[in-house]
Structures are given as structure tokens and as C-alpha cells.
Amino acid sequence: MGQLRMTADDELIEFLGRQITDNKREKIAAVLNERTRHFTVLLEDIYQPHNASACLRSCDCLGLQDVHIVERRNDYRPNNNVSMGSSKWLTLHHYHRPESAIETLKVKGYRLIATSPNEDGYDLLNLPIDKPVALLFGSEHKGLSDSAMAAAEGYLRIPMFGFTESFNISVTLALAISRLVERLRESALDWKLKDEEKKELTLRFYRSIVARHELLEQKFWESRNR
């Protein structure tokens, strides 16, 4: 059987890939092979830079690709010293209203699960993961908005055994995603990115690494179209 014909995007990816090291190309391919959109998170009005940054870092480390950010009252301002550049590898979706984010997630087929220490609901072992799940996290002091809580199809609680009423939001996110990703990877669910998604992200990641990629791409297209 002959080789499949390369598309223009395939050729561009190959061209930009020659501008970076083998190690970086292999690392990007390996990371994308472990990425998932089966889980995502919605962060509503997070205002402390440390929390904003730590949430992004945990999402990247645990293999989530998408983060949905609502900035109705507070701008989302991660500190790069904490996030360690993780935002470069994530797909961040910004909204001014929680209703817009919620509608987007519903259209994409996500089950909306609110994280709350004050509501009875699922724990990390019995939360259904048979369909994509979006975990909703609220601001540090006020928690989730009424509209976000009303849209939730269920609640997630993380057991606590001390005097303090709740974990820090970034800790809650890391604990929840870590256990759920572990369950996902042990399941038979088809949780990995599709080939087209990997291709799209590979191109984006190459562009983030290659200096002055715009000029190189211009030369690439000029050469290709001769």
C-alpha cells in the first residue's frame, strides 16, 4: 500500500519540526499521546495569582488540554514563576459570563460537576466518568456563582478529616484531577486526543518554540507555491 499523500499542514509541521531538536519533537509527541479532553475544568473568578498559576500547572502535569476561565469580576492573572509556562501548552478559553462557559461545555457534551464542600454528592471513586466531565471551581471566597451551581448536574466532595472547612482551590483541583485521571487511564474508555487534534496542537506547539516562525512560514509557502 502506498504512502498517504501529505497535506499542506503536514508539510508545514514537518518543515517547522526541522527547526527544533529531536528531543523536543519527541517530547511534544509523547505528551500529546497522553493528553485528554475527556476531563476539563472551569475556573470562575479566580483572583489570587498563585492559585491561578497552580491550577494551570496541575492541569498540564495531569494531562488535561482545555481550561475554561470565567472573568466576570476578576481578571485571571497567573504568575509565570508558579505556572512554569504551563499556559503555553494548554488551550485556554476565556469568558466574561459563566452562562457562556456553561453553554459551551454543554454543547461539547460535558457533564457539569460542581466542586463544593457544602453539598452532598459524588466522591472521587463513584463520580461517573463514562462521558466527558467538566469540573466547576469557584472563586476563593465566594465559591461558584448561583448560575454555575444551578447548571451543575451533580456535586463533587473531597473527604476532609481536620478542623479546616476546605482545601485551597488549587489543591482541590490537583487532588480531584489526579484521582479521576488515574481512573480514566485504567478504564477502557477512548480518552485520547484524535489525530487531527494532535496535528493542530503539534503545529501550535512548534510555533511557540520556533523563533520568528512567521517569517519561516512565509518562506515555506512562497517556496511551496512556486
pLDDT in tens, 67-118: 999 987 756 665 555 445 788 899 999 999 899 999 999 999 999 999 987 6
Helix then strand count (H, E) for the chain reads 9, 6
Cell of 12: 508545514
Q: What is the pLDDT of residue 136?
A: 96
Whole-structure pTM value: 0.89
Using CA atoms, how far residue 163 sits from 141, 160, 166, 170, 174, in Å, is: 18, 9, 9, 19, 21
φ, ψ at 102 (rounded to 5°): -65, -45
Cell of 70: 470565567
Q: What is the pLDDT of residue 71?
A: 82
φ, ψ at 39 (rounded to 5°): -115, 145
Cell 511557540 belongs to residue:
208
The list of the chain residues with pLDDT below 50 reads 1-2, 82-83
Residue type, 14: E
Q: What is the pLDDT of residue 82?
A: 47
- CATH fold of 34-190 reads Alpha/beta knot (3.40.1280)
Domain ranges of the chain: 34-190, 192-221
Rounded CA-CA distance 171/58 in Å is 9
Rounded CA-CA distance 68/119 in Å is 23
Rounded CA-CA distance 109/134 in Å is 9
